[in-house]
Amino acid sequence: MPRTARPHGRAALTALSACVALGCGTGTVPGEQPSPTPGGPTAAGRDVVTWASSADHVGEAADGRGYRLMVHTSVGGSGLRVRLSNAFGDRPVTFGNAHAGLRQDGASLVPGSNGRLTFAGARSVTVPAGGIVYSDPLPGRVPAERTLAVSLYVSRAGGTLTGHRMALQTSYITDGDHTAEEGAAHWKQRTGSWYYLDAVTVRPREETGAVVALGDSLTDGRRSTPDRDRRWPDYLARRLSSVGGTVEGVANAGIAGNKVLRDGPGQSALNRLRRDALSLPGVRTVFLFQGVNDIKAEPGATSAGLIAGYRRLIDRAHAAGKCVVGATIAPFKGWPEWDPAGEAVRRRVNAFIRDSGEFDGVTDFDRVLRSPHDPERMLAAFDGGDHLHPNDKGMRAMADAVDPKTLGCGTG
């Protein structure tokens, strides 16, 4: 059984506007930060994250643009709220209108499901550079395992655009404000990224919590089938829903190319832990599956350096009352940057993850994915084709290896 984290210090979405403001304001500036400032944006105490993505720089912002963003829920509940992020922006962003509804097909929505989102009772909100904001709760119930369409109209923006580049989900862009429209007539331009939206929360049944998967491209889903929700955290969400435990929310905090110790792509796990994991409502456990990009970098991380980074992440998560499950680093022989020296680091780091006792639980992805004939190489049946990223079958095997009992010992 996992030890307790150490305390340090199916109905359609009702198309009605929100009526109760539960918090709206700015968040922390990106980077390694202390706890969010009092009065900053927080979700209600019973809110639980049902979907999330990790923010980064994704290009240049523009005025007068609409985004219809498709995201898949994990846990269901009432009182949907969205979190909009300008974490990497260098100028304020004004959202002139926002709606959320259930996707029917393509960019079209289930009739009657598209509800207007408000912010402290207002249709429009300006988010300062570096800030985040939560919407008011939207009345009605959000189903589990359904695709939501969150439509945003950005009336004023400029400078750096905040978003998530590799969504593996088709969303849509338009000019002008068409957020209230349920049809797809004005939503013709497709995109494979998410913009501004970095979390969706709901109020599920009492005692329900969430896990956040902090990772790199293997968690982000590279080599899984686009538009089919076959990343390993997606499979895990479906599994947790079927077993009916206390953890059903799953947040994907993977960024392709991300490292534990150094920034780029995305801020390092150490620098984004609070924004991308600890600040999300209802999270009980941080599932840490990172390190391969540190190892195969030039120069590559040492085992001592990577282990020290893990310990810092564990300490910060425990200080926030969260459990930490560590996952061993999967084999990647055959990838161009593999070499025997990096393999030796991987083995030493995996030994720490398995045997140190410093994690609240361990999932052995190395054992699940490795070839029995060559333990330095991924099993061919799970290989997505580049010897680093698993295919859909491998993603499912990873999710099946997670013990749900290890995910619920922290506080939400």
Query: By C-alpha distance, which of 410, 375, 378 is closest to 397?
Result: 378
Name the 3-class secondary structure at 276. helix
Backbone angles phi, psi at 178, to 5 degrees: -125, 25
Inform me whether the pLDDT recorded for 4 exceeds 50: no
Mean pLDDT of 13-32: 30
- What per-residue confidence (pLDDT) applies to 9? 32
- What per-residue confidence (pLDDT) applies to 409? 85
Residue that wins the pLDDT comparison between 30 and 146? 146
Going by pLDDT thresholds of 50, 70 and 90, the confidence category of residue 27 is very low
CA atoms lying within 13 Å on the CB side of residue 326: 24
Inform me whether the pLDDT recorded for 392 exceeds 90: yes
- What per-residue confidence (pLDDT) applies to 238? 97
- pLDDT digit string, tens, across residues 152-173: 999 999 999 999 999 999 999 9
Mean pLDDT of 393-404: 98
Going by pLDDT thresholds of 50, 70 and 90, the confidence category of residue 45 is low
Mean pLDDT of 256-273: 97
Share of the chain above pLDDT 70, in %: 89
Q: How far is CA 287 from CA 210, 219, 362, in A?
A: 11, 10, 9
For the whole model, what pTM was predicted?
A: 0.90
* Residues facing residue 211 across a β-bridge: 250, 285
| Range of weakest confidence among 35-49, 94-108, 274-288 | 35-49
Inform me whether the pLDDT recorded for 38 exceeds 50: no
Going by pLDDT thresholds of 50, 70 and 90, the confidence category of residue 43 is low
Q: What torsion do the CA atoms of 373, 375, 379, 385 make, to the nearest 10 degrees?
A: -120
Mean pLDDT of 295-322: 97
Q: Tally Cβ neighbours within 10 Å of residue 77.
A: 23
- What per-residue confidence (pLDDT) applies to 410? 78
Going by pLDDT thresholds of 50, 70 and 90, the confidence category of residue 104 is very high
Inform me whether the pLDDT recorded for 212 exceeds 50: yes
Name the 3-class secondary structure at 123. coil
Residue that wins the pLDDT comparison between 312 and 17? 312
- What per-residue confidence (pLDDT) applies to 42? 52
Inform me whether the pLDDT recorded for 146 exceeds 80: yes
Q: Tally Cβ neighbours within 10 Å of residue 90.
A: 11
Mean pLDDT of 228-253: 96
